[in-house]
Amino acid sequence: MFYRENGQFKTSYKSDQQIFPIPQDRWAIFAIIAFAFFAIPFMVDEYLFRAILIPFLILSLAALGVNILVGYCGQITLGAGAFMAVGAYAAYNFLIRVSGMPALGAILLGGFTAAAVGIVFGIPSLRVRGLYLAVATLAAQFFWDWAFLRVKWFTNDASSGSVSVADIDVFGWIVNTPTDKYLFCLGTLVVFSFMAKNLVRGNMGRQWMAIRDMDVAATVIGIRPLYAKLSAFAVSSFYLGVAGALWGMINLGSWEPAAFSIDRSFQLLFMVIIGGLGAIAGSFFGAAFIVILPIFLNQILPVIGGLFGLEVSIALVSHVEIMIFGALIVFFLIVEPHGIARLWSTGREKLRLWPFPH
């Protein structure tokens, strides 16, 4: 009844091609963003910021990057964690080695470094496809895992192997309380999401999708696979690099290569597949699901055990947790292989006809 575009006539190309053509969508998005900026900081406590909201925002950004590569360009990657690591360590090195480097500049440069590395590791995609490529991207993962562990230069000869940064300073705004961190990550995420949304509906995004749907046919109609695939790798790695820099410098503060291990890569791939491949919104749904689920299980399992009078040890909880996590993932893939984003769009279609579906 309320979500309906009857009677909304577009009278110019500009209004037809805008980013959210349906006004209800537009207002809903603005309302959510305004709520996230102005209401949430006053509503939640520090634990929620640290445990859920900040990881959710940063991992959403990373999932966006993975979604661009896997969902829009169709190149499966298992090396996403490596590009996050490259971003994080590059940002760290720019920050400590270049005097007077602003933190924001270091984060962006970290992203650009990751993009360059992404192009190099994307070159095999021109020759190798599908699952072979997926395994080939693991080369990036293991190579960078090794490099940040063994090559002392990257970690500035830190004896423990872990690096740390002080609170970052953005044009005089010291980002140190959880609220500040949340707002900084939120701002970055909003900017990058709009950028991604615009990229995928523009020329570049259409080329990616053509390559994804059938690369031979795309080549025949004049899309250069070299340019399309490598640009997808570059943009995706840029997003991952920025996300990695934020993860290291804002969420963790001090970190080791293990923070960006292969488990992180799997986690990111889970996010985009459960959230929905080829949907920007899917990245957020997936990130929310994967971030919240383990915390939820961790809280709820001892309670359930208590109901049956069982003493649940911490080790048992962690085992049962990964068991249920795996089972839920399989369950989700079976009931909705196209991800939560598809559920969302089905719901929206229903809503357009509600309350008179016939």
Residues 37, 112, 194, 325: which binds another protein (CB under 8 A)?
Answer: 325
Region 167-196 residues binding another protein, contact defined as CB under 8 A:
none
Instruction: State in Å, rounded, how far the first CA of the chain is from the last one.
Output: 13
Q: Is 138 in the site for another protein (CB under 8 A)?
A: yes
Report the 10 Å Cβ neighbour count for 82: 34
Q: How far is the CB of 24 from another protein (least distance, A)?
A: 32
129 Rama class: left (phi>0) / alpha (psi -120 to 50) / beta: beta
Span interacting with another protein, options 30-38, 203-211, 331-339, 343-351, rule CB under 8 A: 331-339
Identify which of 154, 325, 338 has the alpha carbon closest to the alpha carbon of residue 248.
154
Residues 33, 48, 316, 351: which binds another protein (CB under 8 A)?
Answer: 316
Q: Is 136 in the site for another protein (CB under 8 A)?
A: yes
* CB-based contacts of 61, cutoff 8 Å, min separation 6: 185, 188, 189, 192, 239, 242, 243, 246
Q: How far is the CB of 84 from another protein (least distance, A)?
A: 17
Amino acid at 138: L
* CB-based contacts of 235, cutoff 8 Å, min separation 6: 65, 68, 115, 199, 204
Q: Is 292 in the site for another protein (CB under 8 A)?
A: no
Name the packing angle between helices 178-201 and 203-213 (round to 10°).
70
Q: What string marks each residue from 74 to 93 as x (binds another protein by CB under 8 A) or -?
A: --x-----------------
Name the packing angle between helices 103-122 and 225-246 (round to 10°).
140
Distance CA 168, CA 314 (A): 36
Distance CA 112, CA 239 (A): 9
Amino acid at 330: V
* Torsion angle (degrees, nearest 10) of CA 176, 253, 67, 207: 80
Q: What string marks each residue from 216 to 255 as x (binds another protein by CB under 8 A) or -?
A: xx--x-----------------------------------
Amino acid at 151: V
Residues 146, 173, 296, 354: which binds another protein (CB under 8 A)?
Answer: 146
Q: Is 117 in the site for another protein (CB under 8 A)?
A: no
Span interacting with another protein, options 61-69, 124-132, 299-307, 347-355, rule CB under 8 A: 124-132
CB-nearer residue toward another protein: 183 or 277: 277
Residues 320, 343, 351, 352: which binds another protein (CB under 8 A)?
Answer: 320
Q: Is 330 in the site for another protein (CB under 8 A)?
A: yes
* Torsion angle (degrees, nearest 10) of CA 198, 203, 206, 210: -160
Q: How far is the CB of 328 from another protein (least distance, A)?
A: 8
Q: What string marks each residue from 39 to 78 as x (binds another protein by CB under 8 A) or -?
A: -------------------------------x-----x--
Residues 30, 47, 142, 354: which binds another protein (CB under 8 A)?
Answer: 142
Which string of DSSP letters, residue by residue, matches 286-316? HHHHHHHHHHHHHHHHHHHHHHTT----HHH
3-class secondary-structure state, position 337: coil
CB-nearer residue toward another protein: 145 or 180: 145
Which string of DSSP letters, residue by residue, matches 137-174? HHHHHHHHHHHHHH-TTTTTT-TTS-EE---EEETTEE
Span interacting with another protein, options 104-112, 169-177, 201-209, 314-322, rule CB under 8 A: 314-322
Region 201-220 residues binding another protein, contact defined as CB under 8 A:
214, 216-217, 220
CB-nearer residue toward another protein: 124 or 253: 124
The residues of the shown chain that bind another protein, judged by CB under 8 A, are 70, 76, 124, 127-132, 134-136, 138-139, 142-143, 145-146, 149-151, 214, 216-217, 220, 262, 266, 269-270, 273, 277, 315-316, 319-330, 333-334, 337
